[in-house]
Amino acid sequence: AQSVTQLGSHVSVSEGALVLLRCNYSSSVPPYLFWYVQYPNQGLQLLLKYTSAATLVKGINGFEAEFKKSETSFHLTKPSAHMSDAAEYFCAVSGGSQGNLIFGKGTKLSVKP
Amino acid sequence: NAGVTQTPKFQVLKTGQSMTLQCAQDMNHNSMYWYRQDPGMGLRLIYYSASEGTTDKGEVPNGYNVSRLNKREFSLRLESAAPSQTSVYFCATQRQGVFTDTQYFGPGTRLTVL
């Protein structure tokens, strides 16, 4: 069965600092991995996804993630945080029995001026 | 293109009342999903519909029913609301139930059951 663990329910960085949000997965089959962002009182928006084409995946708003099979990780990074990046971020793995996504519990990112 | 729309945006119910959450999409997608989001729990699948006329239970189906009225619309019904159903409900769509396909989410319905 697939599962996702996001380390840290809350991460705080200063504006301009590196953003690193951690995600580890467990999967019995080659995983397809996703990062979604949720701004306050909004739905989820896709940031990027890994579908085995390339291990380094670039997404919107300057975010990227690297798939590391040996570490079963898919961490999300951004070199320089902006105030507008404050949101909740969800890592998800595809492969539920109905084709659904299996989500981590989310990491809330705060950006300090 | 509106994408995925949900109505209502907010709702307050009393225990035992019933209501239907509506979801519609104009993306011509086959698969539709209902998730609930609770603090610290991520999103959990309630029900799923692979195509018009078919529905399947997800991880947390108890207390809910669904209808896939046509390709565009997928509704979620609470027959007798309970405080444990206080949550944010998201509808999502996917072109097919294929693992690599992106799921697109609606803006959510925030439900409080008193």
pLDDT tens profile A45-79 = 999 999 877 889 999 999 999 999 999 999 999 99
Give the residue among B35, B46, B50 at the shortest CA–CA distance from B95. Answer: B50
CB A97 within 8 A of CB A112: no
SS3 content of chain A, % helix, strand, coil (to 5): 5, 55, 40
Q: Considering only the beta carbons, identify the residue of A41, A42, A96 that sits closest to B45.
A: A96
Binary contact (A103, B44; C-beta < 8 A): yes
Q: How confident is the model at residue A101 (pLDDT cuts 50, 70, 90)?
A: confident
Binary contact (B58, A98; C-beta < 8 A): yes
Specify the length of chain A in residues.
Answer: 113
Using an 8 Å CB-CB cutoff, list chain B residues near A8.
none
| Sites in chain B below the pLDDT cut of 70 | 1, 97
- Residue A1: the pLDDT is 75
Quote the CA–CA distance of A32 and A52 in Å, as a whole number.
7
Using an 8 Å CB-CB cutoff, list chain B residues near A103.
42-44
CB A48 within 8 A of CB A59: yes
Cβ-count burial of B87 within 10 angstroms (0-12 exposed, 13-18 middle, 19+ buried)?
Answer: buried
Residues 6 or more apart whose Cβ sits within 8 Å of residue A85:
A19, A61, A78, A109, A111
Binary contact (B42, A9; C-beta < 8 A): no
CB neighbours (10 Å) of residue B70?
10
Q: Is B95 on the interface with A (CB under 8 A)?
A: no
Binary contact (B108, A43; C-beta < 8 A): yes
